[in-house]
Amino acid sequence: MTERNETPLVEARHLKKYFQVNVGAFKTAPLKAVNDVSFSIMRGETLGMVGESGCGKTTVGRTLLQLYKPTGGEIIYDGEKIESPASLKKFRTKASMVFQDPYSSLNPRMTVMDIIAEPLDVHKLCRTKEERRERVLQLMDYVGLNSEHASRYAHEFSGGQRQRIGIARALAVKPEFMVCDEPVSALDVSIQAQVINMFDELQDRLGLTYLFIAHDLLVVRHISDRIAVMYLGKMVELASAGEIYDRPLHPYTKSLISAVPLPDPEKARANRRIILKGDIPSPLRAPSGCPFRTRCAYATEACAESMPELKDVSGGHLVACHRTAEIND
């Protein structure tokens, strides 16, 4: 992973994204998919983001790139707030996204050449057809595709090859920042390691910065410098990858880590699985105070009264829990 300086490349401040959902005849209610989330990503860093399905991970990534318009909060890229059409247009030549499903995100009527070149055409980054072709072939080489693949269509490729096409397209504008939305979850396990290693190599080669969204905790640990844990639209813990795995402090994070399979049989037998009670609540009817309190063994009345602040408890290890000190003695 690349060296970093002390200035964040990407910042989200109090980011919110609410969707208006029909709940009856002529009635709507806000679904708070992302509710007051703040974080920063340093240049050259990989921030992993984990949590259960429906916790808001993907919405964070899409809102950060303004594929969804934020309901509230600020997005700052390289010191500049993204708010005007001009700043957004500039941002979109510096940031891109790799989507979860490598097939539905590719146009079946376009050749690989045209799929990868689409961002070049949109932003008018190539002056001639020859320059366009050379750039596409260069991008294909970056992701391990052969030049003869350029004239084929997406349905002719395996899942892993399709995802490589999607990654090449995301690299077309020479981005500095990439949101990777569960980029290996739709792939065979045998292919996942190849794609993850390719992300590492591309980061070293091109100086990329990643927001890496996934539900596979082992994948996230391998690629991430720091890991953010999401629950019901809120960030509940943020720390270095080693800290999250070796010393989780939030009850929800402890439960997630306890579910990670261990290759050592003795450690696996000694591992105490923490099983959460109940189901994750609907974001339409989120609990008052701490959203995790309805499933937490340590919840008190104070947890129902107010949402705990995401606080630094030890050298960059941030936790949102009223009882962090008590439950980690």
Q: Are strands 209-213 and 317-319 parallel, antiparallel or unpaired?
A: unpaired
Domain boundary among 174, 208, 235: 174
- For CA atoms 91, 92, 97, 101, give the dihedral sign: positive
| 260 and 298 assigned to the same domain | yes
242 found inside a domain: yes
Domain boundary among 174, 199, 224: 174
Q: Which of 63, 50, 53, 67 is nearest to 17 (CA)?
A: 63
151 found inside a domain: yes
3 found inside a domain: no
| 82 and 110 assigned to the same domain | no
| 80 and 169 assigned to the same domain | no
Domain boundary among 123, 155, 174: 174
Supply the pLDDT for residue 268: 64
Label residues 72-95 b or e (16+ Cβ within 10 Å = b): ebebbbeeeebeeeeeeeebbebb
Consecutive sets of 10 residues in the chain, 329 residues long: mean pLDDT of each? 68 95 86 94 96 91 94 94 91 92 86 94 92 95 93 91 94 95 86 92 96 90 94 95 93 90 70 79 88 91 92 92 88
What phi, psi does 246 have (nearest 5°)? -90, -25
What would you measure as the largest C-alpha separation in the chain, in angstroms? 67
| 135 and 56 assigned to the same domain | no
55 found inside a domain: yes
| 56 and 112 assigned to the same domain | no
| 122 and 57 assigned to the same domain | no
Q: Which H, E and C letters describe 121-180, residue by residue?
A: HHCCCCCCHHHHHHHHHHHHHHCCCCHHHHHCEHHHCCHHHHHHHHHHHHHCCCCCEEEE
Number of structural domains the chain divides into: 2
Helix 112-122 / helix 129-142 crossing angle, nearest 10 deg: 120
User: Using an 8 Å Cβ cutoff, are 17 and 216 in contact?
Assistant: no
282 found inside a domain: yes
Supply the pLDDT for residue 200: 94
Supply the pLDDT for residue 114: 95
Supply the pLDDT for residue 186: 79
Supply the pLDDT for residue 2: 46
Supply the pLDDT for residue 5: 54
> Domain with 76 in it: what CATH number?
3.40.50.300
| 244 and 292 assigned to the same domain | yes
Helix or strand (DSSP H, E) at 102? none
Supply the pLDDT for residue 189: 83
| 126 and 71 assigned to the same domain | no
280 found inside a domain: yes
| 249 and 309 assigned to the same domain | yes
197 found inside a domain: yes
Bridge partners of residue 210, in order along the sequence: 46, 178
| 256 and 239 assigned to the same domain | yes
| 182 and 36 assigned to the same domain | yes
User: Using an 8 Å Cβ cutoff, are 296 and 251 in contact?
Assistant: yes
250 found inside a domain: yes
**Full residue range of the structural domain in which residue 149 is found:** 103-174
Question: Pseudo-torsion of CA 127, 130, 131, 134, nearest 10°?
Answer: 160
| 262 and 290 assigned to the same domain | yes
The Cα–Cα gap between 204 and 206 comes to 6
Supply the pLDDT for residue 1: 47
pTM for the whole structure: 0.92
